[in-house]
Amino acid sequence: MNDLLRPLFDLFPAMWEKRWWGLAAAWAFALLGAIGVIAFKERYQASATVFVDTRTMLGPLLQGLTVQPDVNQQVDLLARTLLARPNINAIIDENHLLKPGSTELQRAELIQQLMKAIHVKINGRDNLYEIDYVSTDPQKTLGVVRSLLNLFVTQGIDTNRRDSAQAVQFIDSQIAIYDAKLRDAENKLKQFKTEHPGYSGQGVDYYARQSQLQDQLTQLQGQLSSAVSSRNAMQAQLADVRPTLAPSLVPGTGIVSGPSEIDLRIAAQRKHLDDLLQRYTDAYPDVVATRQTLARLERERQQQERQRASVGAKTAPQYSEATNPVYQQLRISLAQADANVASIRAQMGDVQSRLTQLRAQATQMPKLDEQYVQLNRDYTVLNDNYQKLVQRRESAMLSRNQDDSRKLDYFRVVDPPRLGPTALFPRRTFLIAVVLVLALGIGVVTSYLLVLLVPTYRTARQLRESTDRPVLGSITLALSPAAVHTEQRQQRLFLLGTGVLVVLFATWTVINMLHLTH
């Protein structure tokens, strides 16, 4: 055991002889370390946490009515672009991070430093976004985080509102364009139908329409044949009936003269005309034919009246004219039959005219069908797009109203901007202690290195073991009282120098700790 501890016992006295060099090295390092600690600026961290609510009650309720944007994607993109250069510039100006009169180069360097020092942590699973910043100025650190938080929230809201407003504006412009196109398509369709009045559209086949008109013409021909046969039968029956009755069979005492044949026919035509006007317009073929027949009968009656006036008044006959009621009824029926025949002939003329016009258009039908299909297709496409744009505009406006009503509901500040209670590691107190320990350690190491570089031998045994030569003898050093007193004074000075160093750093540490607590 003594052999193991003997080198230490030999080393300590040698290092003690070199103690002043060690103390000088310790003081030198301590002074340099103190300057470094004084120049060191403690770093402070400020942070804030925001929760983005993307799962709201309004989402399921307004599904299908409004445009539901991907809020997660929008906010994630916003968080990743939060540290863009324009935003950093706004933060620098808001928190006065640059002194007045700074150059653009200094601003660019500060922007690079802020981009590296500011961190935006994204927790997409929980929709949490944390902003933290570290710098040496506590108040400016907190101000930067507060500005970033406000920028994050306001940009998110402004982005949603701006997107909604741009969407509504774009849809309005498209609606105006499609409205003009739709009106133009409607005018083209109207012009086409005006230029081709007999054309009823590609939806009804040309040959089917021709067959319908042919069937209608055949049906009218049958009706005309029946009407003519009925009229001829009435004329034959009318020829067998006497128009007058004997005076004894006529009611009353005087001779009664009834209306003439022409008057009865005119009355029948007027009644038939009133019936037609209740169902059709003045341009209907039956109405036109009936008016023509009525005008002809009135001309005949005026001609008969002029003939009676030229002959003069005559003696009243023994038998009055057309006093037989059966004859009068047959005359009325005959007039109605004549009107019916004229009406059927007019309808046949109209159908025959349309059939002739349709047959004349046989060579033009494919071209007309193609033109009509193209116009109708353009109109249908434009109308569908127009209706969809109107629906989208309503959805966009409802979405904008939803964003305006929610305001700040998307963003909930879970942890408001706050400054850490203490400075980040390493703190100044820790550095003071480290400098003191390192200074003492460097002093010890310096003494040890000097012992190795400039060795001294205090005993004959150390000299013999180091040189492997025999030592013939040794002389013992005996200190005088004055030398002992000098040695003791040097020991006290060394302990004083070491103690002053330790006390100074310990006092500095305590003062720094008290300053932090206040």
**Contacts by 474-482, CB closer than 8 A, 24 or more apart:** none
Beta bridge partners of 121: 130
Tell me the C-alpha to C-alpha distance, in Å, between residue 231 and each of 107, 272, 276, 333, 504.
Answer: 112, 16, 20, 9, 145
Three-state DSSP class for residue 385: helix
Whether the CB-CB separation of 48 and 131 falls below 8 Å is answered with yes
CA distance 415 to 424: 19
**Which residue intervals of the chain bear CATH 3.30.1890.10?**
44-176+398-419
Three-state DSSP class for residue 423: coil
- Name the residue type at position 358: L
Residue 363 has a pLDDT of 67
CA distance 396 to 69: 11
DSSP 63: B
Residue 90 has a pLDDT of 92
Nearest one of 20, 29, 31, 28 to 494, comparing CA atoms: 20
CA distance 224 to 239: 22
Residue reference for tokens 């004084």:
38
Residue 123 has a pLDDT of 82
Residue 362 has a pLDDT of 66
The radius of gyration computed from the CA coordinates of the chain, to the nearest angstrom, equals 61
Under CATH, which number does the domain 44-176+398-419 receive? 3.30.1890.10
For 428-486, give the DSSP string: HHHHHHHHHHHHHHHHHHHHHHHHHHS----SHHHHHHHH-S-----------HHHHHH
CA distance 132 to 145: 7
For 136-182, give the DSSP string: S-HHHHHHHHHHHHHHHHHHHHHHHHHHHHHHHHHHHHHHHHHHHHH
One digit per residue, the tens of pLDDT, for the chain of length 518 reads 455 556 666 788 888 889 999 999 999 999 999 999 999 999 999 999 998 876 554 445 445 545 555 555 666 777 778 888 999 999 999 999 998 888 999 999 999 999 999 999 888 677 888 999 999 999 999 999 999 999 888 876 666 566 667 777 888 899 999 899 999 998 988 888 787 765 666 545 667 777 888 888 889 888 888 888 888 888 877 777 777 665 545 454 444 445 667 777 788 888 888 888 877 777 777 788 888 888 888 888 888 777 777 765 444 444 445 557 777 787 888 888 888 888 888 888 888 888 887 777 666 777 777 888 888 888 899 999 999 888 888 877 776 665 555 544 567 888 999 998 888 988 999 999 999 999 999 999 999 999 888 887 777 777 777 777 887 777 777 778 898 899 899 999 999 999 999 999 999 999 988 876 65
Nearest one of 153, 123, 148 to 135, comparing CA atoms: 148
CA distance 427 to 43: 8
CA distance 447 to 348: 139
Burial group, residue 147, by CB count within 10 angstroms (0-12, 13-18, 19+): buried
Residue 47 has a pLDDT of 94
Q: Under 8 Å CB-to-CB from 96, ≥6 apart: which residues?
A: none
Q: Under 8 Å CB-to-CB from 476, ≥6 apart: which residues?
A: none
Residue 468 has a pLDDT of 79
Rounded to 5 degrees, φ, ψ at 301 are: -65, -40
CA distance 276 to 294: 13
Residue 300 has a pLDDT of 81
CA distance 219 to 216: 5
CA distance 241 to 235: 10
SS3 of 260-280: the string is: CHHHHHHHHHHHHHHHHHHHC
Whether the CB-CB separation of 321 and 257 falls below 8 Å is answered with yes
Residue 246 has a pLDDT of 52
For 172-215, give the DSSP string: HHHHHHHHHHHHHHHHHHHHHHHH-TT---TTS-HHHHHHHHHH
CA distance 484 to 474: 21
Residue reference for tokens 């026919």:
265
Taking residue 238's Cβ as centre, other Cβ atoms within 10 Å add up to: 17
**pTM assigned to the model:** 0.53
